[in-house]
Structure formats: C-alpha cells, structure tokens
Structure 1
Amino acid sequence: MKKSLDEIASFLGGTVVGDGEILIESIRGIDEAGPGEMTFIANAQYEKKLLTTKASAVLVSRDTESSGKNLIQVDDPYVALGSLLSLFYPEEKEAPVVSGQAVIEEGAEIAPSATIYPGVYVGRGARIDARVVLYPGVFIGREVVVGEDSVLYPNVAVYRRCLIGKRVIVHAGAVVGSDGFGFASPGQENVKIPQIGMVQIDDDVEIGSNTTIDRATLGRTWIQRGAKIDNLVQIAHNVVVGEMSVIVSQVGISGSTQLGRSVILGGQAGLVGHLEIGDFAMVGAQSGVHEDVKAHTVVSGSPCMPHRNWLRSMSCIPRLPEMRTSLNGLVKRVETLEKHCSLKKEKET
C-alpha cells in the first residue's frame, strides 16, 4: 500500500507541513525509518531525533515544527498512529468455518459467520455469535455467551455460564470464570465455599495473556465496557472493574473490591478486598492498597499514601546513611554536653 502525505493527513484530520505528494509505503520507528517510510513522535523527549531521522515524514503534535522535514501535525500523535497502523496493516479477516476437529456439544449455537479452529470445545447451551473467532485450544463451557466480533486466542478457557460481550479480545492462556478463592476456617479446615456466580465481560474489553478472572461466589464478577487488562493480572471473585479502566501487568485485586470509571492501576499493585477505588483514581506501580481511594486522587507506596507524600518520603531514602551519621554525631555531642553539665554540677555542690 502506498499513500501520499495529503491522503494520510486527510484520513487523520491532520495538517501537512512540507511536500504533500510524498508517497509513504510503511510505518517504522524513528531510528529505523528510511525513505518512503513514516515515523512518529508522541513524546517531547524524542523531538531531537527529528534532526537525525531518515524517514520521509513524521507524525507530530500540532505545535511541533522542524525545518526541512515533512510533517503531519495532529492533535494526538499516538492516537493518530493507531489509526494509521490500522490503515496500513489491517487485520486479516478469518474465513467463516467450523473445523471438523472442533468438539461442539449438542445444543450449542454457532453463528454461520463464526470461525472455529481445530481443538476448540464448545459446551452444551453455549452461544457463539456472528464473526466470533475461536483459536485452537479454546474451551467454552456450558451456557457461555460470546458476543459478536469477539476474538479468543489459543488456549483461552471460559467456564460455565460466563458472558462475553461484543468486540472483546481475550489473549492466549487467559482464564475467565475459574472458582473464586473462597474457604471457611482458612488455615484450619479450609472448607470450600461453592462459587455459583459468573463473570460478565462487557463490550470492547481486552484481556491480556494468562490473566485470570474468578467467578463470583454469588452474583457476578463484572468487567465493564472498554476496560483494558494487561497480561498476568489476577481479579478475584465479585470484583467490579469500572468502564474504561486500565490495569497493568501483575496487578492483584482481592475479592469484592470495586473500581470506578477510568481507574488506572500501575504494574504489580496489590489491592486488599472490599475496597472502593473512586472514578479516575490512579494507583502507582507496586503500591499496596489497604484502604479506599477517593475519586480523582493519586496514591503510591506500600502501604499506599498520597503520591506527593510518597515522593517526599522516597527522596529521603538516598540520604538515610548521611542522616544516620549526622544523627549519631548529634547524639554523641548531646551525651558529651550532658556529661559536662553533670560534672559541673558536682563541682559546684
């Protein structure tokens, strides 16, 4: 595919600075791009590379200029990059077919436009809607629903009665609907509490590889519309993840915690159970969250605290050896002064 800068700018709603007739045939990183290729700058710290890149054109923000370079200025270069990559490298459409090597139980409903690869298992009462793609090794339990245009990559397991919405992407090895970790008399009798709820995944959610989402004890574990979940995340029973929230790799969320809309959890954050994380709150990487977090606030650290307080605390750590030396010196001086005062008193008496 080849597109002129003028065509690309029209597609992105951007403005050309330079030669709009230049033809672009591929998109590459700023260090690798050469003639006939386009690159992008989404972070101001890379603007200096405008002077050295060999790319024919660069996608930049509205206020970026560079003499002698062909640019397309847009509101958000990273968002525009996503659109451009979809234009130049569209996903291949899978041919609708149900492999003879798939196992489809009687009573399962498979839309004619769905694609079912070899090694897939679809249980009784399940429903696979239009244009769904199930890659090899996918397990679909009984009475599961997978909505239109959803894609489940190899070895995804979806347990019984779970609901997956439209345009959901579930990456390889993820597990949706395994039993919540519920035991009475923990550490003593470990009596298992049956987990009879389900998991509901709303439209436009993406779930990373080897992520696990437990079914509810009662009711549902609920991942709401547009949430994006990275690889290796653990979401426990009855958790609610609010719309458009982002959960980064290796986060663990304990049971019945509720995340509001557009919450962001940094990598390796750990949340105890029964918390409420308010809308638009942010939790820093490796934070230990032990209490509710108010809306529109940022917390960091373990145990977590307001982010600014954490920054001040962290700034002290490199100076601790010096501070310890100073403190020891002060202690010795005080001891010397006290000893001197004591001797002086003895002489006076």
Structure 2
Amino acid sequence: MTDPVFFHARNRLTVADIVELTGAEPVPGLSLDLSVERVAPLDHAGEGDLSFLENPHYLPMLETSKAAVILISPKFVDRAPKNAPLLVAREPYRAFAQIGMALFPDAARPQSFFGAKGISPGAVVHPEARLEIGVTVDPGAVIGPRAEIGAGTIVGANAVIGPDVRIGRDCSISPNAVIQHSLIGNRVIIHAGACLGQDGFGFSMGPRGHLKVPQVGRVVVQDDVEIGACTTIDRGANRDTIIGEGTKIDNQVQIAHNVMVGRHCVLVSKVGISGSTVLEDFVVMGGASATVGHIRIGMGAQIAGAANVKDDVPPGARMGGTPAQPLGDYARELALLKKLVKSSRVRSGQGTDGGSTA
C-alpha cells in the first residue's frame, strides 16, 4: 500500500477523472464525485484507497475489501458483492498503473536524493562537459570531458559519466551507476549500481596464453528503456551493443558484447545473454535464463525461467529446460521422468516418498 513517509500523492482523483484517464466504466450507482488519493491491495485498502482485481487468486479478498474504488475485469463483475464500488476495465492492472502514475509521478523514476535542482557543489563536472539547462547533478557525481546530458535528466550521487558519453532528456541515472562509451536516448531509467560500456569479455585464447582483444564498439540505448540495479551491459567489440526502444531489463542481468536486443523486450532478473546474440522485438526471457553466443531469438518468443538456449529460436516459440526445447515437449519430458522415477521406486520396494514399503 502507499507509504505515507516516502510517497505523497500529488492530488486526488475522482471517479470521473479515472474514467477519463483509463476508459473504465463505473457500475450503476457509483458516484462520479467519489475520490481516491492512495493505492492499496484489496485486503489492506480502506477509505480513499484504490485497488484492483485481475487475478482470480485474489477473488476471496473481494468479499471483504473496504477499498473506496476497485478496478475489476469484466469476467469477475458477477462475483463481486452487491453495491461494490466497481470500475470495470478491460485491463485492470494497466488502468491501475495509469492511475498510480497520475497520483505518484515521482515514484515512476528515481529522483534526486537531495531534492535540489541544478548542479550540486559536491559534484565534479569537467569544464568541457555540456549540460542543458534543467539537469540535476547530485553530490559525488563525476561527469567527464565532452559528455553531453539533456534537460530534465537527473544524475544521482556518486554516479560516473565517462568522457564523450551522450545522455538524452528526462533520464534518471541512479546513485553509483557507471556509464562509459555509451549513447543513451530520452526517458531512460538506469538504476543504482548498473554499469554500461565496460570492456566486453573478449580474448584470443590459446596455449601461449589469452590475448586480450580490444573492445572498440559502443553501447547504444534507445528511448524509454529501463535498466535494473547492478545490471551490466558490455560495449561492443567491433560493432555496437544495442538495447532497443522500450525494453525493460530487471536487476542483475548480464548482456555481453555485440548483443542486439530488440524493441519492447523483457529480461527478468539474472538473465545472461552471451556475445553477438540477437533478440528480436518483444522477446521475453524469464529469470535466470541464458543463451549461448551467436544465436537469434525470434520476435515474440518466450524463454522460461532457468532455461538455457543453445540454438536459434523461431518467432513466437515458447521454450523451456536445459537445453531449451519447445515448452510442450519439456513438460511432457518432465511428466515422463516423474513416472519413470515412481515406477522405479515401486519395483525396488520403496514408497512414492522414497521410504520402504516393507
């Protein structure tokens, strides 16, 4: 639920405001003048709180929820108590996000820890750096020569922006992030501790030792990308590492040199992408999944958590397991393996829980 210490609503929203913002439809009898100023889950919501229901797992909470307004999927309306304060939305969670953004815009991206605009006296900005009017630089941040940063961007405490780096407008660079050899678009969010543009892991290996290969490419991050805390994105070896428009990357993800990630991809925590792999648009990779290098994952493909991909993946495919295979095949393989183990235990005189049947 909304924390009263860390997050403060900019204003209140009436049901009429929400209808205009999201296109949701109020049930008959719901006052358009009713207002909300906070958000909360169904079981903790009270007066002035907005909540939502999209997952059937939370249907039991609907019976006792005290939320002022509840966004609900059309398929659950008949399951709601009589006179419940419902707003019917085709995508309740998306509508909830729109309302949350209107109430708490500062929560949508990292803010200056010091709440001050402009360049802090404690920051180090090289005289050859070029910052547009409206850039905020917190204490301890270092901005190198010839770096360029657009208006509305926030550079957090102790962040390091290397020489010649370009960062667009309305970005947030969180504390302790390090950006070098990179071109960053507009409205990009880079969370704390992320590192972009360091050496790719490139060596010519052999019996005489491993000779380092100079990495002379860049990292190119397009507009509206979000990069999670402690994620690393290596610069290219002989071409650019590219992160496409609108892609969302979770914490602790590793993206190697020369990787090309398409538009609107989703990479969940601990994903590892080896060098020169291509992800086409709208690819989703679940947590702790990984790829070998030099393969292509087709548009809209989905890789299950902990899967390891060693071959090209066709567009729209759903893959799981190690090595990754079509998800249906993987599920049947697990089911068969479970049957074989159970059968083996019975033949050996053990129970299904591993204990003796004697």
Match of 2:5 in 1: none
1:240-296 residue CA offsets vs partner (Å, 9 max, x unmatched): 000000000001000000000000000000100000000000100000101000001
TM-score by length of 2: 0.88
Query: Secondary structure in 2 aligned to 1:178?
Result: coil
Offset of residue 96 of structure 1: 3.2
Structure-1 residue corresponding to 2:278: 258
TM-fit CA distance, 1:7? 2.6
Q: Which runs of 5+ in 2 are unaligned?
A: 1-10, 350-358
Find the partner of 1:86 among 73, 96, 101: 101
Equivalent residue number for residue 128 of structure 1: 149
Equivalent in the alignment of 1:9:
19
Larger radius of gyration: 1
Unaligned runs of 5+ in 1: 330-349
2:30 maps to 19
The reply to whether residue 98 of structure 1 matches residue 134 of structure 2 is: no
* AA partner of residue 260 (structure 2): V
Answer yes or no: is the 8 Å Cα contact 1:64–1:73 preserved in 2: no
Q: 2:307 maps to what in 1? A: 287
In the TM superposition, what is the alpha-carbon distance from 1:43 to its structure 2 partner? 1.2
Is 1:56 matched with 2:68?
yes
SS of residue matched to 1:311: helix
Deviation for aligned residue 1:35: 2.3
Equivalent residue for 1:73, pick from 88, 93, 97: 88
CA distance in 1, matches of 2:203, 2:86: 60
Q: Which amino acid aligns with 2:56?
A: A
CA–CA distance in structure 2, aligned partners of residues 90 and 265 of structure 1: 28
What is the aligned-residue RMSD (CA, Å)? Answer: 1.7
Shift of 1:326: 5.9
Aligned partners of 1:36 and 1:222: how far apart in 2? 44
1:12-40 C-alpha deviation (Å, 9 max, x unpaired): 21111142233323111111001222211
Q: Is 2:160 the counterpart of 1:139?
A: yes
Q: Which moved more, 1:36-45 or 1:80-89?
A: 36-45
Equivalent residue letter for 1:129 = G
Residues 290, 327 of structure 1: CA spacing in aligned structure 2 closer, same or farther, 3 A cutoff? farther
State, as a whole percentage, how many aligned pairs show the same letter. Answer: 36
Query: Which residue number in structure 1 is paired with residue 59 of structure 2?
Result: 47
Q: In structure 2, what residue type is equivalent to 1:76?
A: E
Deviations 1:150-171 (A, max 9, x none): 1100000001x31000000000
What's the TM-score once normalised by structure 1's chain length? 0.90
Q: Which residue of 2 aligns with 1:155?
A: 176
Q: How many residues align?
A: 328
The CA deviation at 1:44 is 2.4
User: Would you say the 8 A contact 1:252–1:269 is kept in 2?
Assistant: yes
* Cα distance in structure 2, aligned partners of 1:277 and 1:303: 14
